[in-house]
A and B are shown apart, each in its own frame.
Chain A
Amino acid sequence: MIHRAVAALILAAGVAAASELRPSRDFLSPELRALQDDPSRHPGWLWVEDGEALWQRGERSCQSCHGGIGSMAGVATRYPAVAPDGALLNLEGRIERCRTQQQNEAPFGTESDALLSLTAAIAQSSRGLPMRVATDGPAASFIEQGRRFYETRQGQLNLACGQCHDENAGRRLRGDVISNGLGTGYPAYRLEWNTLGSLHRRLRACSLGVRATQFPLGSPEYLALELFLASRAAGLPVEAPGLRR
């Protein structure tokens, strides 16, 4: 027990301060960075375009309440956020709420093309803007929960997120260069997936990598973790839709 408390302390001390964190794009190969920057060659833009079309579709369209998609500039920098009823919502969760409560439609469902498209279109309107999620008030306890998850060694391989994403950022894990694990590029088009995918899908891959429990997409565990990652990324730019190997 003492053993583990000490380990946790040392680990906490090893977690990098925000100022040492670098934008995810800095860790990409020059080829991938160029692709990420070029809408005409970035397959993720197909989803952005679909999302912009969905934004305007239907009688009670998103546009009918919010105006053009441009009105969403800056929104992704503030998510995840705690809703007035106390629920922690990421961008996907916020979209599903509008869908069910304002539009009276069935939810799109996690990882559906429609939800990924709208999320990509909305996140894209914040591309380049600095992350600035609220960390005080009702967000504080979620952030603590996410921080604990991030700092806990997990899985049969007994690794904490920071042991890779703080202590070994920039080094190679097989063919990957480890980034600071910020999540600012999601949803991202991953060549390995051959499609666009959510941050929670990526988190499930990291959990699997250390042979840990994979939590469901949209689970409270990954939502709190997503908020903690976003708070770590404060001041760093939104890169969605990202392009990854």
Chain B
Amino acid sequence: MSAAAARAALASLIAAASPAAGQVVPFAVAGDAIASPLAGLSGDAARGEAVVKNRETANCLICHSIPDPREAFMGEIGPPLAGVGARLTPAQIRLRLVDPTRMNPAAIMPAYHRVDGLVNVDPRYRGRPVLSAQEIEDVVAWLATLRE
């Protein structure tokens, strides 16, 4: 096999192993946490920061503030995310992103990696979680760096 063909084969293998962006991967909740990274993926903090700041997709800052003086008009519905990496473990952060109603049925924070049990979902988003497994891991990685 040529090197190029080997690379292509490897790339398609990786693509096959990583979950499609539009689907929810299986996960196990223990206590108030999801211990294992979703689909065994590893997160990238820089990408996670971009996800959190994206006003079209995750839109976290509609409700939360982050310690970044360049961000204007941040919300005050959820707790400030400054220091969240010191308050919570990555496993606890993961559950709070995936589906906070698993710990508190009255949670206001949207479930970012869930498709079941939702009502009247806009057809454009039906059957798809807000964030993919990779995006969740990226956001977990970035929030874990917010230690003060």
Residues of A within 8 A of B (CB): 3-4, 6-7, 10-11, 14, 152-159, 163-164, 167-168, 171-175, 207-208, 210-214
Contact = CB atoms under 8 A, between A and B. Distances in A.
Choose among A158, A167, A210, A212 the residue with the greatest number of B CB atoms under 10 Å from its CB.
A158
25 contacts: A3-B105, A4-B105, A4-B117, A7-B101, A7-B105, A152-B119, A155-B118, A155-B121, A156-B110, A156-B118, A156-B125, A156-B130, A157-B110, A163-B108, A167-B108, A171-B75, A172-B73, A172-B74, A172-B75, A174-B75, A211-B121, A211-B125, A212-B120, A213-B122, A214-B122
B95 to A, nearest CB: 15
B135 to A, nearest CB: 14
B63 to A, nearest CB: 7
Contact of A155 (B74, B76, B120): B120
SS class of chain B's interface: helix, strand, loop or mixed? loop
B62 interface: yes
B96 to A, nearest CB: 14
A14 B120 contact: no
A28 B24 CA distance: 40
A163 to B, nearest CB: 5
Closest 6 CB pairs of A and B: A7-B105, A157-B110, A156-B125, A10-B106, A175-B73, A154-B120
Nearest to A163: B108
A197 to B, nearest CB: 20
Interface residues of B, number: 27
A213 B106 contact: no
Choose among A156, A159, A213 the residue with the greatest number of B CB atoms under 10 Å from its CB.
A156
B74 to A, nearest CB: 7
Given A7-B101, A173-B77, A153 B121 contact: no
Contacts of B75: 171-174
Interface string B98-127: 000100011010110010011111111110
A174 B62 contact: yes
A18 to B, nearest CB: 21
B143 interface: no
B61 interface: yes
A10 B104 CA distance: 10
Contacts of A157: 110, 130
A172 B117 CA distance: 28
Contact of B110 (A152, A159, A213): A159
Contacts of B105: 3-4, 6-7, 10
Contact of A11 (B77, B106, B120): B106
A208 B111 CA distance: 17
A14 B119 CA distance: 20
B12 to A, nearest CB: 30
B106 A155 contact: no
